[in-house]
Amino acid sequence: MKKKPVTVIVVGAGSRGTAYADYVNEHPEELKIIGVAEPRDAYRDSFVKKHLIAPEYIFSDWKEVVQQPRLADAVVIATPDKTHTAPALAFIEKGYHILLEKPMAPTEAECQQITQVATQANVFFAVCHVLRYTILTQKIKQLIESNVIGDLVNIQVLEPVGYWHQAHSFVRGNWRNEAESSSMLLAKCCHDIDWINYIVDSPCSAIQSFGNLRHFRSSEQPEGASDRCTECKIESTCPYSALKIYFGFFDKGERDWPLNVLTPEPTRETLLEALRTGPYGRCVYACDNDVVDHQTVNMEFENGATATLTMTAFTQSAARKIRLFGTRGELECNGERIRHFDFLTDQWESIEISKIDPSILGGHGGGDYGLMKAFIAAISQNDPEPILSGPEATMQSHKMVFSAEEARHTKKVIRI
């Protein structure tokens, strides 16, 4: 018999909720988006129109959904970081399978609460640690397990946020302020910490971190600058100009992220109005941001391996760069290919890695697509095995993040 598609309600129709819902475009036989809960009228209306959602499944608040009998197989929770805990717990109690955007929650206590409830419930629960699901990651995992580089000794990961992405998301945007969202390490680099934890496959025993907000602060504002780019006399000389960044994307034909964060229907007029009146038109030196713009994390694991993560805003590219060192060779990765050096032959070998598709679901090296495919497969097959980022695995890597932040603030090595 032909299986029915998994039915899903999306809670939070921003860029991430919309991205995961787009899986239906590739596989309508596997997934059916039947409902949405979104407080912003324009984003909710756009989502409803795109997925042809019936009026009885349109909600402005997730609380309205849980007041109903169970309406779907699963929910995708893509609300702001600070608002993950309450809907996650409520939907678990209601019997929904859960796909929860990372981070799981902004505090360790809330993460532990969600983990405990999720592991005891009869539901499938996955956190959006999409890097685990990329072709690149799975190939690296296979190479390490096949002893190609011998015993894994050390990992170096460079998380190059990108100068304009830092300005967009972490200076002007939703993740700029720890009190309103979370730390930079939790909001952005929990992906990287989780990836390292997954590859090493041994508990982390100690962690150390340094970092601060070096550049995007009022003391760095150039003389003559205004607090809004649309009114600034020296705007044309600033690499972080909102006009330069957003109209640069628009003039290249882009209409999705990051432009749809400013306005659900990007046109030259709506973008200019958003920059004149909204948060994304502010000078990067006159925002209420306090998250770091560079940070390093050093990790030691119980099996003796070590790892270093470097996050920096000040890069052209946002493509992660990874090196893995073993007793018989090393691997270099740039997101599209792997290079392997063998100590025995003294030869380099190149292994090409292609993305899943060119759409937004090809984002994170195809990890968005891989995550959705795994989550839908788990529900459809009634088998948790495809889910690589369950609550306990996420709790382990989130614990590393919280310990790293404690280390950064206290200038101490934290034993885990």
The tens digit of pLDDT for each residue in 150-206 reads 999 999 999 999 999 999 999 999 999 999 889 999 999 999 999 999 999 999 999
Q: What is the pLDDT, as a whole number, of residue 357?
A: 45
Which of 313, 376, 291, 337 lies closest to 27 in space, CA to CA? 376
pTM exceeds 0.75, yes or no: yes
Q: Three-state SS for 201? A: coil
Q: What is the pLDDT, as a whole number, of residue 351?
A: 86
Q: Three-state SS for 79? A: coil
Low-confidence ranges of the chain (pLDDT < 70): 1-2, 354-365
Q: What is the pLDDT, as a whole number, of residue 264?
A: 87
Count the helix, strand and coil residues of the chain and give each as a percent rounded to the nearest 5: 40, 20, 40
Distance separating alpha carbons of residues 310 and 297, to the nearest angstrom: 7
Q: Three-state SS for 98? A: strand
Domains located in the chain, CATH noted: 6-129 (3.40.50.720), 131-216+289-354+391-415 (3.30.360.10), 221-281 (no CATH)
Report the 10 Å Cβ neighbour count for 110. 19
